[in-house]
């Protein structure tokens, strides 16, 4: 049975009912996501094995984004975030993208790189060539550190050497270019870099210092594109204004930072939900946002296509994995990966890029039309109503009246509740 991501009415259910429906719609057994119940999630004991000096665990809401169609298949997307509106906005944008088939994604091979820094080589130019001549020897030495990776079709693909001038010095910097398959790959490439360092120093005729991966993972790219229907967006003027909004981000670093933050709202939420390293993905994204001329710019592009619809595209490094680390250890991350139904790290990377593009489009559309505060205010109003003591039946009325009066405040919520209850009491007394 295929996955269905068009789950209307999800928000009217309880969290437990939503879990069961999401699991069923993803073709899983109804209890497959029950580990997402805080009472069943990461135990203190499990946490104690993950990091040091553990004193507790942090609960972050996990929502399910609906309507996503990626490369012709529906997918339900788990998103971990503390920010209101993010999950709803992504689902909304995915609904608009569906009109023209959803998201198309591609990924490069899962290539990570590690750097080995050499200091004090007397002849850096010649040292570079000597290291390139030793490609076979260094490759064998590095691959010997991870026979399982090689067995699974990964391992060193290339060795490159760069000369990096800094003041009086010229550092010889060797890169191990490694296919890490379904791992995020930090451990694999760091182990290899440490293993080859001494020999690299000998060949280069210098002292090795740093041996570490680069988070500028520009050989491990994920790309997503989608056509957003002009009518569903609100008409041709909205399309034109979104293009202008995106153009400002391309031209102005102040806007680009916020524009890219909107993309990362979606990206980080999926990366976190699947137990991946959010900082690695963020470091990669921001380093990729630097144009060849050194300007910080936007990661995505928006254009009007020949039919007048909005064509959006996004490319960014996506160092995420499915094996090793928290993805395998954290029960919630495991359930999130099951919900996604992805079988390879590249499939996961493609979905993350699609969510980033959806999130970006949702923000731009809101900014180009009514602004983002209205959407935020309805969610904020819900929280105010709950804090004022509204029951689940009373919440919609309290929220609607506060929004209509443009007064989303605790005192107003309490007043509306008192009026509602007095009215209900009078009706019962009739």
The residues that are catalytic are: 83, 261, 277, 376
Least separation in angstroms between CB 297 and ligand MEV: 14
Closer residue to ligand MEV in complex, CB, 83/414: 83
Closer residue to ligand MEV in complex, CB, 257/329: 257
Closer residue to ligand MEV in complex, CB, 259/382: 259
Share in percent of the chain as helix, strand, coil (round to 5): 50, 20, 30
Least separation in angstroms between CB 62 and ligand MEV: 18
* SS3 assignment, position 285: helix
Closer residue to ligand MEV in complex, CB, 213/249: 249
Least separation in angstroms between CB 359 and ligand MEV: 8
Question: How many residues of this chain interact with ligand MEV, rule: CB under 6 A?
Answer: 10
Least separation in angstroms between CB 245 and ligand MEV: 8
Enumerate residues 6+ apart whose C-beta is below 8 A from 77. Answer: 64, 65, 68, 90, 270, 339, 340, 351, 355
Closer residue to ligand MEV in complex, CB, 262/317: 262
Least separation in angstroms between CB 360 and ligand MEV: 7
Least separation in angstroms between CB 104 and ligand MEV: 22
Q: 218 to 247, contacts with ligand MEV by CB under 6 A? A: none
Write out the DSSP string of 8-69: TTGGGS-HHHHHHHHHHHTTS-TTTTGGGSGGGS--HHHHHHHSSS--------EEEE---E
How many residues are there in the chain?
430
Find the largest Cα–Cα distance for the chain.
Answer: 98
Least separation in angstroms between CB 262 and ligand MEV: 3
| Interaction mask 59-98, ligand MEV, x per CB under 6 A | ------------------------x---------------
Q: Is-contact 217 319, C-beta < 8 A?
A: yes
Closer residue to ligand MEV in complex, CB, 125/383: 383
Q: 326 to 385, contacts with ligand MEV by CB under 6 A? A: 363-364, 367, 372
Q: 101 to 160, contacts with ligand MEV by CB under 6 A? A: none
Number of helices (H), then strands (E), belonging to the chain: the values are: 17, 12
Q: Is-contact 380 112, C-beta < 8 A?
A: no
Q: 244 to 273, contacts with ligand MEV by CB under 6 A? A: 258-259, 261-262, 265
Closer residue to ligand MEV in complex, CB, 29/82: 82
Q: Is-contact 117 413, C-beta < 8 A?
A: no
Write out the DSSP string of 227-243: EE-HHHHT-HHHHHHHH
- Measured CA to CA, the distance from residue 226 to residue 102 in angstroms comes to 6
**Chain centroid offset of residue 111 CA:** 18
Mind spelling out the 3-state secondary structure of 125-137?
HHHHHHHHHCHHH
Write out the DSSP string of 365-396: HHHHTT-SHHHHHHHHHHHHHHHTT--TTTHH
| Interaction mask 20-59, ligand MEV, x per CB under 6 A | ----------------------------------------
Select the residue whose beta carbon is closest to ligand MEV and give its number: 262
Query: What is the contact surface with ligand MEV in residues (CB under 6 A)?
Result: 83, 258-259, 261-262, 265, 363-364, 367, 372
């Amino acid at each position: 049975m295929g996955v269905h991501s068009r789950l209307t009415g999800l928000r009217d259910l309880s969290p437990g009912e939503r879990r069961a429906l999401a699991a069923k719609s993803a073709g899983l057994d109804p209890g497959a996501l029950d580990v997402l119940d805080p009472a069943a999630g990461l135990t203190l004991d499990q946490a104690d094995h993950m990091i040091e000096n553990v004193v507790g665990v942090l609960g972050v809401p996990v929502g399910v984004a609906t309507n996503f169609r990626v490369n012709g298949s529906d997918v339900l997307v788990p998103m971990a975030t503390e920010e209101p509106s993010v999950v709803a906005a992504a689902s909304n944008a995915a609904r608009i993208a569906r009109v023209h088939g959803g998201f198309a994604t591609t990924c490069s091979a899962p290539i990570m790189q590690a750097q080995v820094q050499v200091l004090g080589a007397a002849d850096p130019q010649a040292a570079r060539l000597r290291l390139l001549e030793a490609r076979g020897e260094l490759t064998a030495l590095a691959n010997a550190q991870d026979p399982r990776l090689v067995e699974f079709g990964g391992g060193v693909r290339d060795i490159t050497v760069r000369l990096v001038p800094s003041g009086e010095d010229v550092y010889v910097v060797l890169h191990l270019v490694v296919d890490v398959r379904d791992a995020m790959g930090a451990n694999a490439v760091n182990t290899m870099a440490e293993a080859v360092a001494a020999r690299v120093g000998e060949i280069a005729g210098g002292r090795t210092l740093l041996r570490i991966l680069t988070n500028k993972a520009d050989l491990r790219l994920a790309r997503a594109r989608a056509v957003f229907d002009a009518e569903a967006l609100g008409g041709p003027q909205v399309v034109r204004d979104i293009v202008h909004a995106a153009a400002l981000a391309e031209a102005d670093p102040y806007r680009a930072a916020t524009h890219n933050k909107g993309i990362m709202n979606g990206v980080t939420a999926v990366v976190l939900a699947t137990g991946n390293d959010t900082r690695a993905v963020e470091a990669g994204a921001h380093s990729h946002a630097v144009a060849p001329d050194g300007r910080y710019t936007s990661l995505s592009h928006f254009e009007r296509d020949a039919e007048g619809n909005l064509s959006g595209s996004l490319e960014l490094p996506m160092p995420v994995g499915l094996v090793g680390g928290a993805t395998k250890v954290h029960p919630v991350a495991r359930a999130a990966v099951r919900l996604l139904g992805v079988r390879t790290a590249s499939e996961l990377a493609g979905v993350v890029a699609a969510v980033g593009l959806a999130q970006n489009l949702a923000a731009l559309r809101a900014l180009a039309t009514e602004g983002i505060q209205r959407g935020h205010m309805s969610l904020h109003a819900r929280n105010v109503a709950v804090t004022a003591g509204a029951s689940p039946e009373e919440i919609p009325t309290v929220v609607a009246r506060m929004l209509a009066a443009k007064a989303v405040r605790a005192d107003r919520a309490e007043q509306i509740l008192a009026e509602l209850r007095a009215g209900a009491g009078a009706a019962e007394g009739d």
